Amino acid sequence: MLMVEMLSTGDEVLHGQIVDTNAAWLADCFFQHGLPLSTRTTVGDNLDSLVDVLLERSLYADVLIVNGGLGPTSDDLSALAAATAAGESLIEHPEWITYMESYFAARGRVMSDTNRKQAMIPESAELVDNPVGTACGFALTINDCLMFFTPGVPSEFKVMVNDQILPRLRQRYPLPPSPLCLRLTSFGRTESSLAQQFDVLTLPEGCVMGYRSSTPIIELKLTGPESQRQEMLRNWQIVKQGVEENMLYEGTEGLPAIISRQLTERGLKVVLSEQFSAGLLSWNLFSAQAPILQSEVQPSTDTMSLEQLLEKAKRMATQQQADISMVIGSHHDECLSLALATPNGSYAQRVRYMPGNHSIKVQQDVSATLALDMLSRWFNQRNVFGHYEWLEQAETLAH
């Protein structure tokens, strides 16, 4: 089995000053291509440490993805560390100088002399193109370990992995088939109750059921070899039926994107009003390019009855000539009120958070997700009012 590892560089990553989203993304990306990472290592901006780790991992890994340290500043040391570990010099690539000059000129800027450092790579290295940035990626072999050196900027890193690194790996190695990975996301269940329900399943050999909790949602994932597809699909139907009442969506598209697509396909426009959620619902739908006519955020001071909240939702839809109106009210006495007005019915509910040490941010996430769940249920002709293990339904109203 091909041993694939990742090395993240930088003091800011090592000391936890930024979240290493590149590592999480690469692990998932490579897993989907049948290349699960065997080890992930982090090292700071120290030349000796970088050289030591490169030499150490070269004795274990077949492929090492090195991320970060290709910038123009003095603490960007990956190219020098690679050359030192390989026992060779850095050489300048004039074609990359030309590319960088064009890159800056296209943006009305003049390339700084410090950027010339980004064109310096080990003499035996192969240049790996970066079409969206100035960091010159490269590939180098040390102790039979093929190393790819990549920029830390996520947008540049992802393009390089997809367009440059994966094609090279396919050419060089007989890659295993990609595993089958089935996913769904639930809302309103606890991880322990889901595990109790589904851990009794007898799964085919090599298959694993996993749970990923990211409050307020929990993702269920069934992973296994493609050869077990039929048996996995049979088990997956059991999972889907078992979590049906609380399933937000299947796959990885995300609920805001799904709702945005449904609104667009049906030619429906929406208006939004938020108090407790402080604009979070609007941000989710705006990010998914939903057809929003108007959104407002009001102070979470006024407490309305469900009847008043429902009338507000209907009034907003009428005034703005919208098809759908969504209102998240205030959070008062541990209760949250929401309303949804649609072309064929209007609904409001008040829910009470169950006892627990939840931050305001988590409770705001819950409120936005609950509003989206109400609309999703309406789209799918389900009961708009769901049942949730950790939300108590205090009152409902439907017109």
pLDDT at 235: 96
Is residue 222 predicted with pLDDT exceeding 70? yes
pLDDT in tens, 337-367: 999 999 999 999 999 987 666 788 999 999 9
Name which of 200, 258, 207, 215 is nearest 231 in CA terms: 207
Contact 70, 115 (CB under 8 A): no
- Residue 195, both tokens: 């595990």
Q: What is the mean pLDDT of the chain?
A: 94
Length of the chain: 399
Rounded to two decimals, the pTM is 0.79
Retrieve residue 81's tokens.
């560390």
| pLDDT of the residue at 253 | 92
The answer, yes or no, to whether residue 301 has pLDDT greater than 80, is no
Mean pLDDT of the region 319-330 = 96
Contact 388, 246 (CB under 8 A): yes
Rg (CA), the chain: 26
- Is a pLDDT exceeding 90 seen at residue 308? yes
* Contacts (Cβ under 8 Å, ≥6 apart) of 218: 185, 186, 187, 189, 190, 191, 194, 211, 212
pLDDT band at 174 (very low <50, low <70, confident <90, very high): confident
Determine the pLDDT at residue 179: 87
Locate 362 and state its tokens. Answer: 């988590």
**How far, in Å, CA of 82 to CA of 77, rounded?**
9
Q: Which two tokens stand for residue 269?
A: 């426009």
| The Cα angle at residue 22 between residues 183 and 260, in degrees rounded to 5 | 50
The residue with tokens 């809302």 is: 187
Span 275-284, average pLDDT: 96
**Residue (of 199, 193, 234, 198) closest to 213 by Cα position:** 193
CA 190 – CA 316 distance, rounded (Å): 35
- Residue 25, token pair as written in the block: 């993304």
Edge-to-edge strand ranges of the sheet holding 247-250: 208-214, 217-224, 180-187, 247-250
Asked whether the CA dihedral 53, 59, 60, 64 is positive or negative, the reply is positive
In which band, very low, low, confident or very high, does the pLDDT at 50 lie, cut at 50, 70 and 90?
Answer: very high
- The average pLDDT across 211-215 equals 91
pLDDT of 269 strictly over 90: yes
